[in-house]
């Protein structure tokens, strides 16, 4: 008696069907997808990691997010930023390292941006005891942005602008880097 062979159709089903079934069992992708952004300025690399909430027609600031309440700009985990060298943010010195990023949105006044040493935390629990720096930046009105974004629209020899942008709110931060000569090739 000959051993049974799988038909071409059965092999195709196994090859194509099982991976799709495995994906379906894992569930849908998260509503707030993870994003990263990185920029090198002179000898300094600035990197951010954050989960990107979606506006979905909602009014954000003053509605789903209260003014005058500490909030990490993102979802799921706290947003973080990392500097490969010492920098200044809005003129305030910040040592090289990775930090959690938190904000206090203000209506008609400059926002507060707070960096904390405890960067690996849930987005709901502000670690008061680990504050490293606190700066202020005035929010501006911009074109509507459906998904939270951080980006670097201006990059100079020793300074860059990092923008937080969600809905029609844009918060620019000036980041200065050391003036050592560029060591690249």
Give 107-143 pLDDT, tens digit per residue: 999 999 999 998 977 767 777 789 999 999 999 999 9
What integer pLDDT is reported at residue 181 of this predicted model?
60
What integer pLDDT is reported at residue 14 of this predicted model?
37
User: Which pair of tokens denotes residue 168?
Assistant: 């029609």
Q: Three-state secondary structure along 67-128?
A: CCCCECCCCCECEEEEECCCEEECCEEECCEEEEEEEECCCCCCEEEEEECCCCCECCCCCH
What integer pLDDT is reported at residue 184 of this predicted model?
58
Positions in the chain whose pLDDT score sits under 50: 1-25
State pTM to two decimals.
0.80
Instruction: Give domain limits for the chain.
Output: 29-176
What integer pLDDT is reported at residue 125 of this predicted model?
76
Q: Which of 30, 46, 65 is nearest to 150 (CA)?
A: 46
Distance (Å, rounded) from C-alpha 176 to C-alpha 158?
A: 6
What integer pLDDT is reported at residue 13 of this predicted model?
35
User: Cβ-count burial of 145 within 10 angstroms (0-12 exposed, 13-18 middle, 19+ buried)?
Assistant: middle
C-alpha 166: how far from its chain's center?
A: 12
Q: How many of the other CB atoms lie within 10 Å of CB of 134?
A: 15
Distance (Å, rounded) from C-alpha 76 to C-alpha 151?
A: 20
The SS3 assignment for 25 reads helix
Average confidence score pLDDT of the chain: 84
Span 92-109, pLDDT tens digits: 999 999 999 999 999 999
């Amino acid at each position: 008696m000959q051993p049974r062979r799988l038909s071409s159709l059965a092999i195709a089903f196994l090859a194509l069907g099982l991976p799709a079934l495995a994906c379906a069992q894992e569930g849908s992708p998260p509503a707030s997808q993870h994003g990263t952004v990185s920029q090198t300025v002179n000898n300094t690399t600035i990197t951010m990691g954050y989960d990107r909430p979606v506006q979905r027609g909602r009014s954000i600031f003053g509605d789903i997010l209260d003014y005058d309440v500490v909030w990490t700009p993102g979802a799921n985990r706290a947003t973080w930023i990392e500097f490969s060298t010492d920098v200044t943010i809005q003129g305030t010195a910040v040592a090289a390292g990775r930090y959690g990023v938190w904000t206090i949105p203000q209506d008609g006044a400059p926002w507060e941006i707070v960096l904390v040493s405890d960067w690996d935390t849930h987005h709901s629990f502000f670690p008061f005891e680990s504050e490293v720096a606190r700066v202020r930046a005035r929010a501006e009105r911009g074109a509507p942005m459906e998904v939270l974004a951080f980006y670097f629209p201006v990059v100079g020899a020793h300074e860059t602008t990092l923008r937080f942008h969600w809905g029609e709110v844009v918060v620019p931060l000036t980041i200065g880097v050391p003036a050592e000569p560029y060591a690249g090739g």
